[in-house]
Structure 1
């Protein structure tokens, strides 16, 4: 697909207290597309200011309502027909990774591509491979994402997205993202606070189906 024929794509990045990494993610995303939206989910650090200084359009949510609400706010801030979702704490990311992620959606092969880490580090590789359906790195049509039931109600929206993929019979697949990793919560917050945050995250993620019956 030539650059001239390329449709409008936005990168949307929900972020909560990610001042240390969000600028790097924004700068990489801007090499891929000029339309980068960061939704600061009630951050108490400099996430919003750092993202804005890096060139992103920033939506600031006053209260921390969860990643789902932040994702919804980011989607509302763009009218691009295609979006790439990214976490704000990625390392090793390049524009080539984003091209790899979005291309199957642009050419109509997939309705959603889901990025999984490969070779970025043992901890994040292992966690991503154990629960790849919970990956926050995805590409899809914006209107498809907006149609996901309970998208903005969930603190972590990935299970709601996965449920909608299955319910609609959408075409999806995993796309490897070589050398990409995440800064683990234990490193960002200290071991015990990070471990507690991780436990609460997985409790929310893995109980989605039971809570939505």
Structure 2
């Protein structure tokens, strides 16, 4: 396995990048490679992938965890956070397009400067469909920066297949300062392109149904309800 190169854009404080991935062999290597230009601590967590995600990520020199079987993005994120060492962490999706080290600096700068406790990245000027979906539901963005210990304290994080609603709810409950950060010329590979039209639509529908009904399910599962 190759050794990660020294970052060309060193950060002023220890920052780790955690990248959960499920069958993202086509894009995960580029996301990890860009992250390694930003910081030497990059953890890719394969969530039960059946393709070449693990090999593609390992070839970049990133630290790679191969979880089996598939347990959901929350479990993968939690494992990556436990494996990381830095005080600060950036979460990234593994299917991003157009990512640059400058995007990561823009995302992390307000939290390192003490201006915010969390930043949430939203696409701007990228592909129409991915930008439209990201802006329609920005609270569900997988691009975030904050303290690693705070993310580890999110209730039921390993149990949530899609952890963004749980993170957002904990953000509201703990009163942290947060804001959106625009990430220009970025996007994501559409589910329909990765998995085919029919499978992609089914996957996207199930994902959004799970994400958008989170609060209803949480109220239902609370004792006494």
TM-score, length basis structure 2: 0.92
Q: Which residue of the partner structure matches residue 212 of structure 1?
A: 218
2:18 equivalent among 8, 12, 33: 12
Report 1:1-213 matches (<5 A): 6-213=12-219
Question: How many angstroms does 1:4 deviate by?
Answer: 8.6
Residue 38 to residue 5, structure 1, CA distance change in 2 (3 Å): closer
**SS in structure 1 of the partner of residue 158 of structure 2:** coil
TM-score, length basis structure 1: 0.97
Q: Which moved more, 1:73-82 or 1:3-12?
A: 3-12
2:11–2:38 contact (8 Å) kept in structure 1:
no
CA distance in 2 between partners of 1:149 and 1:194 (Å): 30
CA distance in 1 between partners of 2:67 and 2:121 (Å): 26
Question: How many angstroms does 1:5 deviate by?
Answer: 8.3
CA distance in 2 between partners of 1:191 and 1:210 (Å): 29
CA distance in 2 between partners of 1:43 and 1:4 (Å): 31
Structure 2: segments with no counterpart, 5+ residues: 1-8, 220-225
Structure 1: segments with no counterpart, 5+ residues: none
* Per-residue Cα deviation, 1:119-170 (whole angstroms, up to 9, x for no partner): 1111011101100000000000001101111111100000000000110111
What do you get for the CA RMSD once the two structures are aligned?
1.1
**SS in structure 2 of the partner of residue 212 of structure 1:** helix
**SS in structure 2 of the partner of residue 152 of structure 1:** helix
CA distance in 1 between partners of 2:80 and 2:10 (Å): 26
CA distance in 2 between partners of 1:194 and 1:4 (Å): 38
Residue 127 to residue 7, structure 1, CA distance change in 2 (3 Å): same
CA distance in 1 between partners of 2:53 and 2:131 (Å): 25
**SS in structure 2 of the partner of residue 203 of structure 1:** helix
The 4+ residue runs of structure 1 with deviation greater than 6 A are none
CA distance in 1 between partners of 2:99 and 2:185 (Å): 8
**SS in structure 1 of the partner of residue 78 of structure 2:** helix
CA distance in 2 between partners of 1:5 and 1:85 (Å): 16
